[in-house]
A and B are shown apart, each in its own frame.
Chain A
Amino acid sequence: MLKRIIPLLLVIFGSTLILSLLLQLLPVGLKDLYIAPGDEASVKEQLKSLGLDGNAFTFYFHWLNDFIRGNFGYIIFPGGGREPVSNRLATALPISIRLVIYVQIVSLLVSVPLGIYTAYRAGRRSDRVISYSLFAAASVPNFVFGLLLAIFIGVKLGWLPPLGYVDPSENFVEHIKTMILPVLSLSIPTIATYSRLLRSDVIATLREDYVTMAASKGLSNRRILFTHVLRPSSTTLFTSAALNMGALIGGTLVIEQIFSIPGLGSEIGIAIFSRQFFALQSYVAIIAVGYVLFNGIIYVLLGFVDPRTRERRNA
């Protein structure tokens, strides 16, 4: 277990350090941006509270120390007013996480039957047509679907709101309505990727002897596919669902911009335009840390889905 955790921590440490050092490459000094003019004592006090009183590395450790304690830095207004970044995160992060979860659920719900069906029909006409469409759909970036859906369904047909976000606590039906187009545009490429992976794994599993055995025992095709074949075939699917989280988070940023959803992506956009680099640093660090931890958890969970991977790891 320790052997897994140490590289994980090293990666988190390294990625946050790189982000922190990146801020040193800014064409403007952080001091010039965020230190309000004042007498010597107040300037010194400001430098100290922002961790800018030392070199690049002391700045990083100051940031890291705060980050671990749940203090994600400040948004600093001209004149010296401050708002903790955690305030913004408290509203933005749940929205983005909700979006990603919806996308993963929808994608898995659609891609599992689709992958099994195309594998079962492998080589037939219906499989070829679906498989080629899936390949094309997997290559199309999600913002393309986002923009096209916004134009045609949102604006031209007017069936669904082309932009905006309603919180589920306010109006659940409206919430679902505003989420359909963003979730759909993120899901289409994801569904395509997942079903293609599941298809090739199911085809491989169908060649196993125990499947022939189950068939000769007279089990129904549906029973064989869903109870005997799906589970051993789903390892790659789960691994890539975890890895795909990265692409999905990147996609969420763009989709949030297109549909004006006030999630993390929009906050990052605001941070860039209003030059809030402390906030930007913490936002990106949260994404990186979340992504790494999530992958670590999935890796452990995989051992339960497919015990074969667990044995291989211990060997």
Chain B
Amino acid sequence: MRKLWSTFNLPTKISVAWVSIVMFFVVTGSFLPLPNPTEFDPDASGVGLFSSGHLLGTDINGYDLLSNVVNGARISILIALISVGVGGLIGSAIGIASAYVRGKLDIAVNLLFNILLSIPNLVLGLALVAILATSADPAIPIDPNRRVFIIIFSLTVIIIPILGRIARGATLSWVNREFIVAARSMGMNDRHIIFKHIVPNVLPAIYAVIFLAIGVVIVAEGALSLLGVGIIDGVSWGAMIGRVAGDFTYAPQSMYVPVVVLALTVIAFNQVGDHLRSQLDSREGKI
């Protein structure tokens, strides 16, 4: 760990710091001494940055923006972590298994990944959410919790082929090396070879991409809100952006505060992922 920290350059350190702050908000958000994100302040609607009592101002309805951003981190980041975690697990399992077994299974899996990747990921997510979150009766919107679940599910589907393909490619590059052949000739069974020799070698490639994938999901959550199918009730960065998307001339801070926070978070996650990947490349280069 200490060794890893010493490889960080300045932008990476700043990114790690920012990610840590965001994660701190995710954990402690509701305990911090901030106004309730779902209660508006009738005396301060649309006040600008650095107003008294509202550090980042309020939106047109008087909702405190700092409190919304801090509490919104929880849902936005949790959606990202869950979909990348579950999608990554399923994707890597499929990718590693198919690359290890090869043959017809591998051809089928590769085709499936190609099919899922042939629909641009935002379009696929949009179609999934639009279809699954349709309520039977147009007058009654679907339950907000169910909506969050559908969004997580759809984003997971997007992540599976992205990480699955990485895992498959990495496994293919390891599966024919001498030590695997040696292990097999020594009579080691497949399960042992996969978990003892393949997974530990494939994992670094996946770690690096996971950070990039988290960025993809955070962006997708925001974009879905702008397209009108994201989280509507509730507190998330996407919801904040979606709520004011049509009307931000009166209180522009209600638009640029969540947008800037979202952008900084995505940059930070990407920077960390990119750094891990370059570390990985130099490690591969030494082999």
Contacts and interface: CB of A to CB of B under 8 A. Distances in A.
A10 interface: yes
A25 B153 CA distance: 14
B114 interface: yes
A284 B119 contact: yes
Contact of B114 (A11, A26, A156): A11
B155 interface: no
9 contacts: A11-B111, A15-B118, A19-B119, A141-B219, A246-B117, A247-B120, A249-B123, A250-B223, A288-B118
B115 A250 contact: no
A14 interface: yes
Given A26-B131, A135-B271, A143 B11 contact: no
A139 B270 CA distance: 7
Contacts of A136: 267
B66 interface: no
B208 interface: no
Contact of A135 (B215, B226, B259, B274): B274
Interface string B246-287: 001100100110011011001100110010000000000000
Contacts of A292: 118
A100 B124 CA distance: 19
How extensive is the interface on chain B, given as a class? 35 or more
Contacts of A105: none
A251 B126 CA distance: 12
A277 interface: yes
Contacts of A14: 111-112, 114-115, 118
Contacts of A23: 131
B121 interface: yes
Nearest to B9: A132
Interface of A: 7, 10-12, 14-15, 18-19, 22-23, 25-28, 132, 135-136, 138-141, 143-144, 147-148, 151, 155-156, 246-247, 249-251, 253-254, 257-258, 265, 268-269, 272-273, 275, 277, 280, 284, 287-288, 291-292
B50 to A, nearest CB: 18
A22 B127 contact: yes
A132 B226 CA distance: 28
Contacts of B35: none
Q: Looking at chain A's contact residues, is the secondary structure mostly helix, strand, loop, or mixed?
A: helix
A25 B130 CA distance: 11
A10 B111 contact: yes
A253 B229 CA distance: 13
B245 interface: yes
B70 to A, nearest CB: 19
A250 B136 contact: no
B223 A141 contact: yes
Given A139-B215, A253-B126, A287-B120, A7 B229 contact: no
Contact of A254 (B134, B227, B255): B227
Contacts of A25: 131-132
A147 B254 CA distance: 11
Contacts of B132: 25, 27
Given A135-B11, A253-B126, A292-B118, 13 more contacts: A10-B111, A11-B111, A19-B119, A26-B134, A136-B267, A140-B266, A144-B260, A147-B255, A151-B248, A151-B255, A250-B121, A273-B228, A287-B119
A158 to B, nearest CB: 11
B241 interface: yes
B232 to A, nearest CB: 13
A14 B126 CA distance: 18
B16 interface: no
A292 B114 CA distance: 10
A18 B131 CA distance: 13
Given A14-B111, A143-B222, A246 B120 contact: yes
A250 B112 CA distance: 21
B266 A141 contact: yes
Nearest to A17: B115
Contacts of A265: 227
B138 interface: yes
B259 A147 contact: yes
